[in-house]
Amino acid sequence: MDEAAPRTRKRKAVTIYDVAKRAHVSIKTVSMVLNNLPAVKAETRARVQDAIDALAYHPNQLARGLASHRSFMLGLFCDGNAIGSNYIARIQMEILKTCQKEGYHLVIEYVEPSSPNLARQVQSLMVQSDLAGGILTPPLSEHDGLIEALKHTDTPIARYSPERSMPGFIDVDMDNVQAGYDMAALLLSLGHRRIGFVHGEYDHADARARFAGFRRAMAEWKVPVDESLCLPGEFTYKSGMDAGDVLLSLPERPTAILAANDDMAAGVLAASLRFNLRVPEDLSIAGFDDSLFSQAMWPRLTICRQPLTEMTEAVVAALIRNEGVEPAAMVFPHKVIVRQSTAAPAEARF
C-alpha cells in the first residue's frame, strides 16, 4: 500500500477462508465457532480461535446479514423535533446500552411525521437494511397512517407509548392515567388547591392520559378544575416556559404547577425566576419522565419516573427474539420521586 496515499485502496480483507486454512478446518467449522454453536470439539475450537486472533479476523456483518437474513441491526425512528428532548435522549441511551449487551447495532433515522410518504420511507429503510427490528417513539408511535401501513411489514416493530396497543406490535408504556393521578394526589395532599397543568401536545396519548389522571384526582379531592389554569405545551423547555409565564401572570396565580413532562417543568421553573418566585416556597413544580437533566437541575425536580430502562430492555429483547407478539401493551410500573421542587403552599404552612 502506498504510504503517501493513505486509505485510498482497501487492503484485501481477511476472510473466513483465511482462518479456515490456517486452522486446517473448513469454513463451516469456523462459522460454528464464530456463532458459538456447541457442536465443535474444544480442541478444534481453540485452534480456530488462535487463527482468528493471529489474523485479527473480523467477520463481515454485511455478508453475515445477507446470508442469514439477520442484520443484527435495530432501527430507531424519531421525528426531527425530538432533538433536544431529554426523554428521547434517555431512550436512545437505554437502547444503546441494551444493544451492546446483545451484540446488536443501532441505526438512527429521523423522519418527518408530516411527510406524505412517511410510511413508504420507514418501510423502505427497514427492508433495505434488513433491520432486525424497528423502534418508534412518539409521535411516530401513534401516527395512524404510519401504523396502518406497518401492520403489513415483516419486520417486528416496537412502540413507546402508542395511542392504543395493537396485536402485531411490541408495545410498552406506563400507566399514564395512574401516573397523572398520583402526581396530582401528591400536590393535593400537600395542601395545594390552585394547581396549574401544562399539557403536552394534544395528539400525544401520554399527555392526554396524564391530564385525565390529574382530573380524576382533582375530582376525588372535590377540587374543581379551573380550565384557565390548564395550558397547552409542546413537551419542550421553551413551551413550558411560555405556559409558566401565562400562569404566573394571572391575578390569582397557582400555588403549584404540574407539567406533562419534565422538560416543560424545567421551563416552568425558568418562568418562575422571571417572577422572582422561590421554588418550592412560593411555587411547587412537578413533572414526568425523570430525565438526567431533571435530576441535575436546581432545585431538583419532583417527578414521576418513567421506567424507560425496564421498558427498553423489554423492547429490545422482544425485537431480537421476535417472540410471539404480546396481545396487549407491556405496562411497567412508574414511581413518584419527591425531590426539592415541591412543598406545601405558603398559606397551608404552620
Q: Which residues make up the interface to its own copies (CB under 8 A)? A: 5-8, 10-11, 13, 58-63, 65-66, 69, 71, 73, 80, 83-84, 86, 89-90, 92-93, 96-97, 100, 105-110, 123-125, 127-130, 153-156, 167-168, 236-238, 241, 267, 270-271, 273-274, 291-293, 296-298, 322, 324-325
Paired sense of beta strands 195-198 and 230-231, if any: parallel
Mapped onto helix, strand or coil, the DSSP state of residue 51 is helix
Nearer to its own copies, 44 or 340 (CB): 340
Q: Which listed range, 27-35, 150-158, 186-194, 274-282, lies at the site for DNA (CB under 7 A)?
A: 27-35
Q: For residue 192, give the nearest of 302, 336, 350, 343 by alpha carbon.
A: 343
SS3 for 131? coil
Site for DNA (CB under 7 A): how many residues? 31
The distance of Cα 227 from the centroid of its chain, to the nearest Å, equals: 31
Region at 217 (left for phi over 0; alpha for psi -120 to 50; beta for the rest): alpha
Residue 6: name its binding partner from DNA, its own copies, none (Cβ under 5 to 8 Å by kind): its own copies
Indicate whether 35 belongs to the interface with DNA (CB under 7 A): yes
Could you say which of its own copies, DNA, none residue 167 binds, taking C-beta under 5 to 8 angstroms by partner kind?
its own copies
Q: How far is the CB of 2 from DNA (least distance, A)?
A: 19
Least distance to DNA from the beta carbon of 343, Å? 59
Minimum CB separation of residue 40 from DNA in Å reads: 4
Query: What mask of x and - would describe binding to DNA in positions 44 to 83, judged by CB under 7 A?
Result: x------------xxxx--xx-xxx-x-------------
Judged by beta carbon distances under 5 to 8 A according to partner kind, the member of DNA, its own copies, none in contact with residue 155 is its own copies
Figure out which of the listed residues 7, 41, 152, 349 binds DNA, where binding follows CB under 7 A.
41
Sheet with 335-337: strands ordered across: 230-231, 195-198, 256-259, 284-289, 302-305, 335-337
Residue 25 binds which entry of DNA, its own copies, none, CB below 5-8 Å type-dependent = DNA
70 binds, among its own copies, DNA, none (CB under 5 to 8 A by kind): DNA
Tell me whether residue 38 or residue 324 sits nearer to DNA (CB atom).
38
By beta-carbon proximity to DNA, the closer residue of 25 and 186 is 25
Binding to DNA by residue 292, rule CB under 7 A? Answer: no
Taking the complex as a whole, the smallest distance from the CB of residue 159 to DNA amounts, in Å, to: 27
Run of H or E residues at 164? none
Backbone φ and ψ of 214, nearest 5° = -60, -50
Q: Name the pairing type of β-strands 284-289 and 302-305.
A: parallel
- Kindly state whether residue 296 participates in binding DNA, applying the rule CB under 7 A: no
* Three-class DSSP category at 2: coil
Instruction: Kindly give, in sequence order, each residue whose CB lies less than 8 Å from that of residue 41, ignoring residues fewer than 6 positions away.
Output: none
The answer to whether the beta carbons of residues 340 and 300 sit under 8 Å apart is yes
Instruction: Quickly list DSSP for 264-308.
Output: HHHHHHHHHHHTT--TTTT-EEEEEE--HHHHHSSSPPEEEE--H
Q: Which of DNA, its own copies, none does residue 100 bind to, with CB < 5 to 8 Å depending on kind?
A: its own copies
Closer to DNA by CB, 18 or 171: give it: 18
Please check whether residue 194 is in contact with residue 229, taking contact to mean a CB–CB distance below 8 angstroms.
Answer: yes
In angstroms, what is the minimal distance from the CB of 29 to DNA?
A: 4
Does residue 126 bind DNA (CB under 7 A)? Answer: no
Alpha helices in the chain (DSSP H): 16-23, 27-34, 42-55, 61-68, 86-102, 118-128, 144-150, 176-190, 205-220, 237-249, 262-274, 292-296, 308-321
Q: Which positions lie near DNA, rule CB under 7 A?
A: 12-17, 24-29, 31-32, 34-35, 38-41, 44, 57-60, 63-64, 66-68, 70
